[in-house]
Amino acid sequence: MKDNRLDFYKDFSITLFHWYSHNQRDLPWRHTQDPYKVWLSEIILQQTRVDQGMPYYYNFIESYPTVSSLANAHLDDVYKLWEGLGYYSRARNLHKAAKIVVEQFNGVFPNSYNGLITLPGIGDYTASAISSFCFNEVRPVLDGNVFRVISRLFGIKEPINKPASRKIFKDILNELIDKHSPASFNQAIMEFGAVHCKPKQPKCDECIFQEKCFAFSMNKQSDYPVKVKPKKSITRFFNYLIVGEGDDIWIKKRSNSGIWSNLHEFPLIEGQDIFNTELIDETVKIIKVSKATKHILSHQNIYAKFYRVKDVDASFLEGCIKVKKSSLPDYAMHRLMTRFLEEEQSFM
């Protein structure tokens, strides 16, 4: 069964490369085999759309042209450049990996999958991408695009977000990948998934694989890929205290774990199942209160209120730092904070 299936697809790469040569986007990281730049692009693009990550890629290349310059940077500056992109552990691991490359590998990136995957922030996908793109190692990439393409072509119903399903896809890809052009194969199959075999409204009516695609032959494209429902999000209530006299303002760096780790924000009092209005009423003098705003994360729905207050008990400022309002832009913050600062100047 498996052999027949793969025989049927033995000219897959030729067809794919033909499509790729006519349809590929011009992306900056495709013009280089410098592992530093490829690595940077791959970390930025983890769970991130190309359009969203592109400006960050340019900013990082400009601020840190080499792995040494990144390794020598202050972590807080790296966070600042990452601000707004999300999944902030990527910024921490980016910096950590750069230091390892410089201090342990003499500034030279590992030139193999097995070496690359030892670096923090580099998992199976990223190690496969870098080792194939830069060193022509035969390592198939398996990202969201590839999952979708393979599941439709072969009619695979194993949920793509279950770890156990990975082997099924990897086995197929290891047969399918062009052993002579692993870099082009990986680029092409991801690009095909991104711009042609899209999640919604795939271009099946003009598809090079019409004859071969299981999903198309059954007219069941929308049934693939199969995915198990994610767990429901939890709800939290954040009360932010805006404290400070004159040009001074108090902020705090979040802990090294949990959401928004190591990013800055106003002193926070989290409510239990509702906003802590009573507690705040009794404890501080409220000058002004914002409306509740909803901020959505993958696993949490956060309702936030901002309170301009005075006469705050010192215990609320435990671990906080006093900074000038004008220097707030120097501190890396999460989107909930930057959005508030953009839109609610009247509180400052």
Partner DNA sequence: AATACGGGGGA
Partner DNA sequence: TCCCCAGTATT
Active-site positions read: 42
Distance in Å, CB of 102 to DNA, minimum? 18
Helix axes 144-154, 182-195, angle to 10 degrees: 80
Q: Which of 70, 102, 138, 190 binds DNA (CB under 7 A)?
A: 190
Bridge partners (DSSP) of residue 250 are 322
Sign of torsion over alpha carbons 226, 51, 57, 21: positive
Distance in Å, CB of 304 to DNA, minimum? 11
Q: Which helix (DSSP H) or strand (DSSP E) does residue 277 occupy?
A: helix 277-283
Burial class (CB in 10 A: 0-12, 13-18, 19+), 342: exposed
Distance in Å, CB of 324 to DNA, minimum? 23
E strand intervals along 162-299 = 234-242, 248-253, 264-265, 268-271, 285-289, 293-296
Q: Which amino acid is at 206?
A: E
For β-strands 234-242 and 268-271, DSSP reports them as antiparallel
- Only segment of 78-86, 269-277, 285-293, 310-318 that touches DNA (CB under 7 A): 78-86
Contact 248, 323 (CB under 8 A): yes
Binders of DNA among residues 207 to 236 (CB under 7 A) are 225, 227, 229-231
- Only segment of 5-13, 173-181, 257-265, 312-320 that touches DNA (CB under 7 A): 257-265
Residue pointed to by tokens 């209120």: 305
Q: Does 139 bind DNA (CB under 7 A)?
A: no
**Which residue, 46 or 111, is less far from DNA as judged by CB?**
46
Residue pointed to by tokens 């832009």: 329
Q: Does 298 bind DNA (CB under 7 A)?
A: yes
Kindly give, in sequence order, each residue whose CB lies less than 8 Å from that of residue 228, ignoring residues fewer than 6 positions away.
159, 161, 162
Q: Does 115 bind DNA (CB under 7 A)?
A: no
Query: And the tokens for 206?
Result: 């003009």
Interface mask toward DNA for 152-181; x: CB under 7 A: ---------xxxx-----------------
**Which residue, 257 or 315, is less far from DNA as judged by CB?**
257
Q: Which of 40, 101, 129, 251 binds DNA (CB under 7 A)?
A: 129
Q: Could you tell me how many residues make up the chain?
A: 348
Helix or strand or coil: residue 65?
A: coil
Q: Does 93 bind DNA (CB under 7 A)?
A: yes
- As a whole number of angstroms, the distance between CA 200 and CA 222 comes to 8
Query: And the tokens for 307?
Result: 């309170």
Q: Does 41 bind DNA (CB under 7 A)?
A: yes
- As a whole number of angstroms, the distance between CA 190 and CA 193 comes to 5
Q: Please work out the total of residues on this chain that contact DNA, with binding judged by CB under 7 A.
A: 65
Q: Does 112 bind DNA (CB under 7 A)?
A: no
**Which residue, 65 or 123, is less far from DNA as judged by CB?**
123
Q: Does 289 bind DNA (CB under 7 A)?
A: no
Q: Which of 148, 253, 264, 305 binds DNA (CB under 7 A)?
A: 148
Distance in Å, CB of 2 to DNA, minimum? 21
Distance in Å, CB of 148 to DNA, minimum? 5
Distance in Å, CB of 3 to DNA, minimum? 26
- As a whole number of angstroms, the distance between CA 98 and CA 108 comes to 10
The residues binding DNA (CB under 7 A) are 27, 29-30, 41-42, 45-52, 84-89, 93, 120-127, 129, 143-145, 147-148, 161-164, 187, 190-191, 193-194, 199-201, 225, 227, 229-231, 257-261, 295-300, 334-336
